[in-house]
Amino acid sequence: MKDIELLRIALPADVESAKNNGSFEEALDLIRRYTEDPLTPEIMKRRLAVETEVISRIEREYPYTFAEGLSLVQKEIPDFSAEELQDYIRIGAALTHRIRDEKKLHHLFFDSMKKVYPEIAERTGHPHQRNVLLNDMIAHMKEKGSCTMRMRMRTELRLPDDISFEKLRVHIPLPAKAPNCGNIQIISCSPGGIIDDEDSLMRTVCFETEDPSRRSFSVEYSYECMARYVHPEGNRTSVRNDHDLDEMEPQIVFTPLIRNLCDGLTGHLDEPLAKARAIYDFVTKNLVYAFVPEYMTLGCIPDFAASYRKGDCGIQALLFIVLCRCAGIPARWQSGMYVTPDHVGSHDWAMFEIEPYGWLWADCSFGGAAWRAGETERHDFYFGNLDPYRLVTSNDLQQEFAVKKEQWRIDPYDNQTGEIETESRGLKRHEFDSVTELLEMKEII
């Protein structure tokens, strides 16, 4: 997948320094020189080609000067002061990056602050609420033992008129068969597309067209999300599942930081279930949810999470997975959407395998939100369980599509909102619209 595993190779020191200082033109000039130098190893040239793509993505992730960021906050909190924003930057609540000798704020910094800090949400007039929907579902599952939801959904990707092409290829995620997802039906595709097998680890439908008037691509489907309730306890063993214990460059890697952290969390424990719980507790109680730049710009994501102790759902899931594998517990990625009558949004979580239960789930971001809210029952639930409000489109990380995307993907590790490419380039996320909507939901009794 475009040499993505080469991100683990260290850059030349001068390129790394220029990049970190936000001197992107200097960094790209250095990359050009190294690439043209016959003494530069071929693998380093390939690594530098990947870095060219990384650098192209960084600047648009950090659009706001300090003054612009303050103005953005003051639109919702008029009395918010510059000193307060400095304080939130200092504690890492507002992510920044140096861009051409000026520190700039991440485009979602204020969204992160509103999501995580109750005092900020309160001052905007939209205080945090208890999650009644999830709490009621947890009570329902504990009483009944399980819950299955039948969903009918539609995803559409729309291309604006100002994007020209000779040939267009569109990839839309589809429900994938999983322990918690089945009875999948593709109701319609417009226009006709190439539908991947439902056992695919990262399932898609692919549309190809040379018709410049074709600007909309959609698929409607139904599926069942099955959630059983378990209360994992006792001395349980892990399953020997080599693939789900392996390292996978560049993200699932047992770096010195990961090995040391894993040993500190689990070295004194004998049982795999206890080790998995210790890892879950560390992630949910010590990492704060935060919107982050594109994953491709973050380097080694689990190291980023372990050291920065902040991250979104996928970052928290990756840290849980790599720590479990390091501890000898099979673990893997699962992702798609969180789907309720009021909200449909991208989401990532983790799976881990323990006998006699088989595959269990860990939703660290939902568990962390419950912990911060003081709701210990919900925090406990998301170690071992998932709610039935899920659309599963990916059962592993960093998988190729059945119809391979030729250009750089928006997200080389996952696929939740779809991808579009022309004959010459992959489109960026802001260049097209992706809408997934719930058409019908009902519980299967």
Q: How far apart are CA 313 and CA 349, in angstroms?
A: 7
pLDDT 10s digit of each residue in the chain, 445 long? 678 999 999 999 999 999 999 999 999 999 999 999 999 999 999 999 999 999 999 988 999 999 999 999 999 999 999 999 999 999 888 999 999 889 999 999 999 999 999 999 999 999 988 899 999 999 999 999 999 999 999 999 999 999 999 999 999 999 999 999 999 999 999 998 999 999 999 999 999 999 999 999 999 999 999 999 999 998 888 887 788 999 999 999 999 999 999 999 999 999 999 999 999 999 999 998 999 999 999 989 999 999 989 999 999 999 999 999 999 999 999 999 999 999 999 999 999 999 999 999 999 999 999 999 999 999 999 999 999 999 999 999 999 999 999 999 999 999 999 999 999 999 999 999 999 999 999 999 8
Cα 103 to Cα 20, 80, 94, distances in angstroms: 11, 20, 12
Phi, psi of 253 (to 5 degrees): -135, 135
Q: How far apart are CA 16 and CA 217, in angstroms?
A: 40
Q: How far apart are CA 408 and CA 59, in angstroms?
A: 17
H or E stretch at 227: strand 216-228
Q: In order of start, what are the domains of the chain with their CATH numbers?
A: 4-61 (no CATH), 66-123 (no CATH), 145-227+416-444 (2.60.40), 230-384 (3.10.620.30)
DSSP three-state, residue 431: helix
Contact call for residues 111 and 291 (beta carbons, < 8 A): yes
DSSP three-state, residue 298: coil
H or E stretch at 241: none
Phi, psi of 362 (to 5 degrees): -140, 115
Q: What pLDDT score was predicted for residue 1?
A: 63
Closest CA to 178 of 382, 320, 400, 334: 334
Total residues belonging to the chain: 445
Q: What pLDDT score was predicted for residue 129?
A: 84
Tell me which residue has tokens 């920044």: 96
Q: What pLDDT score was predicted for residue 238?
A: 83
Q: How far apart are CA 361 and CA 20, in angstroms?
A: 37
H or E stretch at 393: strand 390-394
**Residue 26: is it exposed, middle or buried by C-beta count within 10 angstroms (0-12/13-18/19+)?**
middle
Q: What percent of the chain has pLDDT over 70?
A: 100
DSSP three-state, residue 356: coil
Cα 138 to Cα 135, 145, 344, 353, distances in angstroms: 5, 10, 19, 22
**Residue 21: is it exposed, middle or buried by C-beta count within 10 angstroms (0-12/13-18/19+)?**
middle
Q: How far apart are CA 225 and CA 334, in angstroms?
A: 13
Closest CA to 361 of 415, 418, 313, 307: 313
Q: Within a 10 A sphere around the Cβ of 30, how many other Cβ atoms?
A: 20
Amino acid letter for position 93? A
DSSP code for 100: T
Beta strand 146-158 with 433-444: parallel, antiparallel or unpaired?
A: antiparallel
pLDDT per residue as tens digits for the range 191-217:
989 999 999 999 999 999 999 999 999
Give 199's contacts (C-beta < 8 A, 6+ positions apart): 176, 177
Closest CA to 391 of 219, 192, 150, 129: 150
Q: How far apart are CA 436 and CA 345, in angstroms?
A: 8
